[in-house]
Structure 1
Amino acid sequence: MSHHPKIHPVHDPEASLAHPTAPLVPRTASRSEHGDPSKDPLTQRPQRFVPLAPPKKRRSCCCRCVCYTLCSLLLLIVVVGATIGILYLVFKPKLPDYSIDRLQLTRFTMNQDLSLSTSFNVTITAKNPNKKIGIYYEDGSKITVWYRETQLSNGSLPKFYQGHKNTTVIFVEMTGQTQDASGLRTTIEDQQQRTGNIPLRIRVNQPVRVKFGKLKLFEVRFSVRCGVLIDSLVTNNVIKIQSSSCKFRLRL
């Protein structure tokens, strides 16, 4: 009895090339039952997002001009402040002192049109207490006499220079005319009979230039407000001043 060799099937490696299997996902299909494998977070690489640099802002010419102007103003303020501080420390300025020494009524007449004409002569003493500061009294001053809210007369101070530690006596003539003053004279007379005095106010607005040593500064204005109590308003007589007080204010 002859023995035939047993033949066992051997896997052919080229069989898979000859008969390719069908893909699980058709080539024409974009999605499978479990989603799009191309968008699987496990297989997809993380993308890096690089932030874009913000655009550079360009300053306009107008903005630069505003900045330059503000810087110039700030520098000017600092320089002026430093200059004033140095002058104050060196010269030690003091405010002038003013007083009403004499007041005379030369006219107090009621006219036919019911207007009141008045004339005053006022003597003012101005004192400059500074040792190194002179005062130039310039043109354009105004001095007025008031009874309550009614202006009676007005005038102006003369132009002159007042030196260091100087006392100057100023004589001023003032005139005025008040319209529709029919009840004003009666009110003044009643005031005198009830209280024994008449309150007047004297106001001075004066442009001056201050001189520090040899340095003459720009023009400034000061105002003086004086409250005066007099005994009466009698024409051509020297009026007795019962009390007088003045306040000084500087205006740049």
Structure 2
Amino acid sequence: MADHQKIHPVVDVEAPPTTPLVPHGSFRSENGDPVQQNPPKHATVIPVIHSIPPKTERSRCCCKCICCTISLLVIILIIIGATAGILYVIFRPKLPQYSINNLKISDFRLNYDMTLYAKFDVKITAQNPNKKIGIYYEEGGRLSVWYIGTRLCEGSLPKFYQGHQNTTVLDVSLTGQTQYGSTLMTALQQQQQTGRIPLDLKVDVPVAIKLGNLKLRKVRFLVGCKLAVDSLTANNKISITTSDCGFRLKL
């Protein structure tokens, strides 16, 4: 017999190259899926951009409320300022003035229980220089006399109305009893030798201001007068060497 001819596969040079079923560097698992042994050397990292969530409806409402509140406050301040300016132009307010005209000591003695008893009579002048503003002096006003932080005596102020450009003179009787009278009396006697005894007169009175026909709410007048007298002897003439009164308003 003739020799068997060998059949060799013919390779088609024009056919595209075939892709292996299992890539190089991999092996099949028990289920037949390729398992990659080593990860790729160069992995590409994709940055994650977190998007900013849009404003919620609640935050928008809060912003609107804040803007409305600020606008309202600005409007109120403008109205108050305009009103105050108009009132100032119309009424031209001026501060009241106070002065101490006379100080008389009716009684000033040391008791058996070593307390110091004092009785003063003070004449105080109140001036209202305003042409269109009246002052109601209400009940509860007090006038007191102090020596170096110690209250010697006090008394009540009368209730009255002070009209436009009016001057009122008040006679106020003050009484008081102070502890540690012996020490205080010794200090006063030593101070009297210098011919200059410092005293503080304090006025605290509730008042109501009247603008035209309108009566405003109550405020407080606080008056402080710094005096210097030559003596504190009872039933003797006392000279006021210096007197300086200040005024402030307490709402």
> If the TM-score is normalised by the length of the shorter chain, which range does it land in?
0.7 to 0.9
Matched ranges for 1:162-181 at <5 A = 162-181=162-181
Gaps of 5+ in 1: 1-14, 41-46
TM-score, normalisation: structure 2: 0.77
Distance 1:31 1:221 in 2: 98
Q: Deviations over 1:59-107 (max 9, x none)?
A: 3988877776665555444333322221112111111110000111111
SS at match of 1:182: helix
Q: Structure 1 residue 225 and structure 2 residue 224: aligned?
A: yes
1:22 to 10, 18, 23: 18
1:106 to 2:106 alignment: yes
Against the structure 1 CA distance between its residues 16 and 86, is the aligned structure 2 distance closer, same or farther, given a 3 Å change threshold? same
Matched, 1:121 2:121: yes
Q: TM-score by structure 1 length?
A: 0.77
| Aligned position for 1:213 | 212
Residues 61 and 54 of structure 1, relative CA distance in 2, 3 Å threshold: closer
Equivalents in 2 of 1:95, 1:108: separation in Å?
35
Which SS does the other structure have where 2:85 is aligned?
A: helix
- Give % identity: 51
Q: Counterparts of 2:74 and 2:138 in 1: how far apart (Å)? A: 31
Q: Which runs of 4+ in 1 moved over 3 A?
A: 49-53, 59-78
Alignment match, 2:8: none
Alpha-carbon shift at residue 176 of structure 1 (Å): 0.7
Give the match for residue 196 of structure 1: 195
Distance 1:172 1:62 in 2: 60
Question: How many residues of Structure 1 are paired with residues of Structure 2 in the alignment?
Answer: 225
Q: In structure 2, do the counterparts of structure 1 residues 227 and 53 end up closer, same or farther at CA, with 3 Å as the change threshold?
A: closer
Partner of 1:54: 53
1:54 partner SS: coil
What's the offset of the Cα at 1:166? 0.4
- Structure 1 stretch displaced more, 52-61 or 209-218: 52-61
Give the aligned partner of residue 183 of structure 1. Answer: 183
CA distance in 2, matches of 1:125, 1:229: 18
The alpha carbon displacement at 1:119 in A equals 0.9
Amino acid at match of 1:100: I
Tell me the residue number matched to 1:3: none
> How far, CA to CA, are the matches of 2:224 and 2:59 in structure 1?
53
Distance verdict in 2 for CA 1:21–1:100, change over 3 Å: closer
Correspondence for 2:149: 149
Which residue of structure 1 aligns with residue 35 of structure 2?
none
**Which amino acid counterpart does residue 107 of structure 2 have in structure 1?**
R
Structure 2: distance between partners of 1:70 and 1:156: 46
Flag the 1:104–1:22 CA change in 2: closer, same or farther, 3 A. Answer: same
SS in 2 for 1:188: helix
